[in-house]
Amino acid sequence: MTSAVANGATDAPRAKRARLEDEDSDEDSDEAAVSPATMSKVEDFLLPFQLSREKLREVSSKLRKDLIRGLGKHTHRRAPVKMLPTFVRDTPDGTETGDFLALDLGGTNFRVLHVRVEENLQKVLKMDSQECAIPQEMMQGPGEELFDHIAACVAEFLESIELKDKVLPLGFTFSFPCEQKDIDMSILIRWTKGFACSGVEGQNVVQLLREAIKRRGDYDIGSVAMVNDTVGTMMNCGYQDQSCEIGMIIGTGTNACYMEEMRNVKRVEGDEGRMCINTEWGGFGDDGSLRDVQTEFDVEVDRTSINPGVHTFEKMISGMYLGEVARLVLIEMAKKNLLFGGETSEALLTPDSFETRFISEIEEEDTGLEHAQQILTEDLGLPAGPEDCEIVRLVCDTLSTRSARLCGAALVTIANRIRNNRGLTHLTTTVGVDGTVYTKHPHYSDRLEETVKALAPKCNIKFMVTDDGSGKGAAMVTAVAQRLAIHSKLLEDSDGDEEDEDE
Ligand code: BGC
Least Cα distance to 35 among 385, 402, 358 occurs for 385
Answer yes or no: are the C-beta atoms of 292 and 389 closer than 8 Å.
Answer: no
Task: Say how many Å lie between the CA of residue 436 and the centre of ligand 1.
Answer: 13
Tell which atom from ligand 1 comes closest to the C-alpha of 311: 7
Instruction: Please report, in tens digits, the pLDDT of each residue of the chain (503 residues total).
Output: 333 333 333 333 333 555 566 554 444 444 467 899 999 999 999 999 999 999 999 999 999 999 999 999 889 989 999 999 999 988 888 888 889 999 999 877 899 999 998 877 667 888 899 999 999 999 999 999 999 999 999 999 999 999 999 999 999 999 999 999 888 999 999 999 989 999 999 999 999 999 999 999 999 999 999 999 999 999 989 888 889 999 999 999 999 999 999 999 998 889 999 999 999 999 999 999 999 999 999 999 999 999 999 999 999 999 999 999 999 999 999 999 999 999 999 999 999 999 999 999 999 999 999 999 999 999 999 999 999 999 999 999 999 999 999 999 999 999 999 999 999 999 999 999 999 999 999 999 999 999 999 999 999 999 999 878 888 888 888 888 888 877 766 666 665 444 443 32
Is residue 229 annotated as part of the catalytic site, yes or no? yes
List every span in the chain annotated with CATH 3.40.367.20: 53-85+241-465
User: Residue 395: which residues within 8 A CB-CB, separation 6 or more?
Assistant: 46, 326, 329, 330, 333
Residue 11 bears catalytic tag: no
Nearest alpha carbon, ligand 1 atom 3: 175
Instruction: Give the other-Cβ count within 10 Å of 353's Cβ.
Output: 17
Tell the residue nearest (CA) to atom 2 of ligand 1.
176
Residue 5 confidence (pLDDT)? 33
Question: Does 249 sit in the ligand 1 pocket, CB within 6 Å?
Answer: yes
Between CA 318 and CA 326, with CA 322 as vertex, the angle to 5 degrees is 170
The CATH number of the domain covering residues in 53-85+241-465: 3.40.367.20
Whether 92 is in the pocket of ligand 1, judged by its Cβ within 6 Å, is no
Q: Which residues face 102 on adjacent strands? A: 113, 171
Dist. CA 387–CA 258, nearest whole Å: 44
Give the per-residue SS3 of 368-408: HHHHHHHHHHHHCCCCCCHHHHHHHHHHHHHHHHHHHHHHH
- Give CA–CA dist 225/102, Å, rounded: 10
DSSP 105: E
* 126: region left, alpha or beta (phi > 0 left; psi from -120 to 50 alpha): beta
In CATH, which superfamily holds the domain spanning 98-227? ATPase, nucleotide binding domain (3.30.420.40)
Numbered ranges of CATH 3.30.420.40 in the chain: 98-227
Ligand 1 atom at minimal distance to the Cα of residue 230: 10
Centroid of ligand 1 to alpha carbon of 13 (angstroms):
32
Give pLDDT, residue 15: 37
90 CA to centre of ligand 1 in angstroms: 21
Q: β-strand 224-227 against 170-174: which pairing, if any? A: parallel
β-pairing, 224-227 vs 185-188, is unpaired
Please check whether residue 456 is in contact with residue 219, taking contact to mean a CB–CB distance below 8 angstroms. no
- Mutating to test ligand 1, I would choose from 193, 248, 321 the residue with most ligand atoms within 8 A of its C-beta, which is 193
Strands 109-118 and 123-133: antiparallel
Measured CA angle at 109 (ends 376, 162), to 5 deg: 145
Quick one: three-class SS letters along 283-295? HCCCCCCCCCCCC
Say how far apart CA 395 and CA 333 lie, in whole Å: 10
**Catalytic option among 66, 184, 229, 388:** 229
C-beta separation of 102 from 170 below 8 A: yes
Nearest atom of ligand 1 to the alpha carbon of 176: 9
Pocket test residue of 229, 279, 286, 317 for ligand 1, highest count of atoms within 8 A of CB: 229
Classify 352 in phi/psi space as left (phi over 0), alpha (psi -120 to 50) or beta.
left
Instruction: Say if CB 186 and CB 226 are below 8 A apart.
Output: yes
Q: Decide if 429 contacts 458 (C-beta within 8 A).
A: no
Q: Is 195 in the pocket of ligand 1 (CB under 6 A)?
A: no
Task: Spell out where 384-500 has E strands.
Answer: 427-434, 459-465
